[in-house]
Amino acid sequence: MDLKDLHRLFAQASKLSRQTEFVVVGSHSALGVPRDRALPARMTMSIDVDAWTRNDPERIFELQGALGQGSAFELENGYYLDPVSPRLPTLPEGWESRLYKVKFEDGIVVHFLDPNDCAVSKYARAEPRDREWLQAGLSAGILSAAIIDYRLRETAFADDGERTRAVAAFEEDRTRKGPSKRPKR
């Protein structure tokens, strides 16, 4: 996926919801960050776009039928909106101030979670596909081990088990052997 794909999705979401601002979290948050290199394929291959409407987060759930999994939109485009609540992801303190803003010519604005904040949320879940995204981002230098380490310490986890799981998964990825697994600086 790329920004053009996300714009297509949010143009439809805007028509249906009359909202013009959206927040993207999850794997596709990396698409909104200015960078000097291409994203690894593993960071853009997800077909679900985790998002909410910025000014009225609950409105996003109204779009499930038209743009969500199994919708005509998904059948036509091969990807879909996965409506989420801002309360869903486990995020570090201050994440809202680090959102990246992309404004499209038609007035649609998409705010993207900083990928290092997204990494904290993915480490909290520690699911296999999230770990692949994390390892690809660390290996390519898109994610910063130093920043993630700091932000893990600035995160209010749901419980001790979530914190333990997140820190253990991060330590495992940070200490992987081999030049292709180390973050580039």
Per-residue confidence (pLDDT) for residue 175, from 0 to 100: 85
User: pTM score > 0.85 for this model?
Assistant: yes
Residue 129 pLDDT exceeds 90: yes
DSSP state of 155: B
Dihedral sign (CA 6, 140, 134, 183) = negative
Which tokens is 39 given? 């994203």
Domain's final residue, options 77, 93, 114: 114
Please check whether residues 76 and 60 belong to one and the same domain: yes
Dihedral sign (CA 116, 122, 128, 133) = negative
Residue 110 pLDDT exceeds 60: yes
Please check whether residues 110 and 123 belong to one and the same domain: no
Give the pLDDT confidence of 95-105 residue by residue, as tens digits: 999 999 999 99
Query: What is the phi/psi pair of residue 150, to 5°?
Result: -65, -45
Please check whether residues 64 and 131 belong to one and the same domain: no
Give the pLDDT confidence of 21-61 residue by residue, as tens digits: 999 999 999 999 888 778 999 999 999 999 999 999 999 99
Please check whether residues 163 and 79 belong to one and the same domain: no
Please check whether residues 138 and 95 belong to one and the same domain: no
Domain's final residue, options 114, 147, 162: 114
Domain's final residue, options 114, 148, 163: 114
Query: What is the phi/psi pair of residue 110, to 5°?
Result: -120, 125
Please check whether residues 103 and 33 belong to one and the same domain: yes
Please check whether residues 32 and 79 belong to one and the same domain: yes
Q: CB-hemisphere CA count at 13 Å for 57?
A: 11
Please check whether residues 77 and 136 belong to one and the same domain: no
Please check whether residues 45 and 14 belong to one and the same domain: yes
Q: Which domain holds residue 173?
A: 116-181
Q: Which amino acid is at 106?
A: D
Please check whether residues 106 and 121 belong to one and the same domain: no
Confidence class for position 88, pLDDT limits 50, 70, 90: confident
Please check whether residues 57 and 104 belong to one and the same domain: yes
Range 62-76 average pLDDT: 98
Instruction: Indicate the number of domains in the chain.
Output: 2
Per-residue confidence (pLDDT) for residue 178, from 0 to 100: 39
Please check whether residues 110 and 142 belong to one and the same domain: no
Q: Give whole-number Cα distances, 84 to 126, 134, 159, in Å.
A: 18, 20, 21
